Amino acid sequence: MPHLVTPNSILKFSAAAALAALLFGCASEPPRSQLRTSAAVKPNPPSQSANVQPDLRPFASVGGYRAGAVSGDYAGYPALAQFIEQMVQKHGFDREYLNGLFSQAKRKQWTLDYLAKSDQGLKGKPSKGGWSRYRSQFLDARHIDAGVAFWRTHQAALQRASRQYGVPAEYILGIMAVETTFGSFVGNHRVIDALTTLGFDYQRRGEFFRSELESFLVMARSEGIDPGKPVGSFAGAMGLGQFMPSSFLQWAVDFNGDGRRDLWNPEDAIGSVANYFAQHGWRSGQPVVSRTRGSYSGIESLAPGIDHEYPLGTLVQAGIEPVENCGCDYPLRLLLLRHQSNDEYLLGHPNFYVITRYNHSTHYAMAVHELAQAIKRDYQRIAGDQSGVNG
């Protein structure tokens, strides 16, 4: 989901739908009232919630946690007792250490109340003007200017990531712009509280979040982190790129070479987002989206969205083709963007689909794409202006 849930990404068609995508996509996020556009409620950041492999290496658990039994908000939870036993048997954790840690975990009732309301409106269709409203949350001077400033500060790391992973710098920046506005809003919920609440008190997605909790504990131990300290989104997404713990284990990298993977560190975040894209199939030098033209006579016969793909020939027969010849020998996705005054159809290339692996939303991926292009234009313009002044 990577990832899911605290910042900017969460704005889908409505607060409820946004949250849904966030929690139920891969790298999505919730609404934005308390969730400032960035950290409060993010998309479901990169996360596959894969089965965590046993980790029995002799790492020391950090933090002075110890108790004979769980007390506090989660005392007497049979499912938590079962989970602790699993962590002891599978990963070699000390039972009393986990008892002490979970005795400190706090139930986030606000999160549960919010999700209960959001779950009631998950199935809405894209509404008229939905894309215009979503886009306005991100395509503004605040996000673009912050992206240019971040690029100038971390130019060397971005160049190195682009060379190593084949991912353009502007798309790495597009993710961090939508997710946390480059670290301005990384969330203020303790990850242990968020994942414990959602793992044991949110029935609809409890299994998913218990798996993320397992990943988080393994992650914290392997990186030498006190599991009671990290904060993130209300769904447990972490750092500038809002990775869920399972995504951290699979795709986070130590890009600054200090021996630790730290997604709150800009260089590690840059390398990790680039690696995430590369591992999900980013095609270097290929386009992301294409504008379209044609009669659109057979458009009603084609389902738009990221779950459907069509050979170019099928699209042409339906009266829709790219404005510029793309030489596409691969299937494309038909994307519907609903503006206030009109509907727009675009064609999504494989690289567009890669962006949606971060958050399973057409709107999310389009916001990343348009922000990437806007940040790149302003960065190049400023670089050109300074070159002229210094020349």
State residue 242 phi and psi, 5-degree precision.
Answer: 50, 55
Strand partners, 334: 347
Distance in angstroms (rounded) separating the CA atoms of residues 103 and 92: 19
Residue 214: alpha-carbon gap to chain centroid: 19
Structure tokens at 232: 């993130």
Q: How would you class 203 by CB atoms within 10 Å of its CB: exposed for 0-12, middle for 13-18, buried for 19 or more? A: exposed
Cβ neighbours of 383 (radius 10 Å): 14
CA torsion through residues 165, 156, 367, 332, sign: negative
Contact present, 335 and 348 (Cβ < 8 Å) = yes
Which among 303, 319, 318 has a CA at the least distance from the CA of 362? Answer: 303
Distance in angstroms (rounded) separating the CA atoms of residues 20 and 11: 10
- Name the strand (E) or helix (H) holding 379: helix 362-390
Task: Give 205's DSSP letter.
Answer: G
Structure tokens at 58: 């002799």
| Helices H / strands E in the chain, number of each | 15, 6
CA atoms within 13 A of residue 297's CA, in its CB half-sphere: 7
Q: Tell me the CA distances in angstroms from 357 to 125, 203, 247, 257, one per residue in order.
A: 21, 25, 11, 27
Q: Please identify every residue annotated as catalytic.
A: 179
Which among 239, 247, 241, 181 has a CA at the least distance from the CA of 218? Answer: 247
Strand partners, 290: 347
- Name the strand (E) or helix (H) holding 251: helix 245-251
Q: How would you class 381 by CB atoms within 10 Å of its CB: exposed for 0-12, middle for 13-18, buried for 19 or more? A: exposed
DSSP of 254-317, one letter per residue? Answer: --S-SSS--TTSHHHHHHHHHHHHHHTT--TT--SEEEEES--TTGGGS--STT--B-HHHHHH
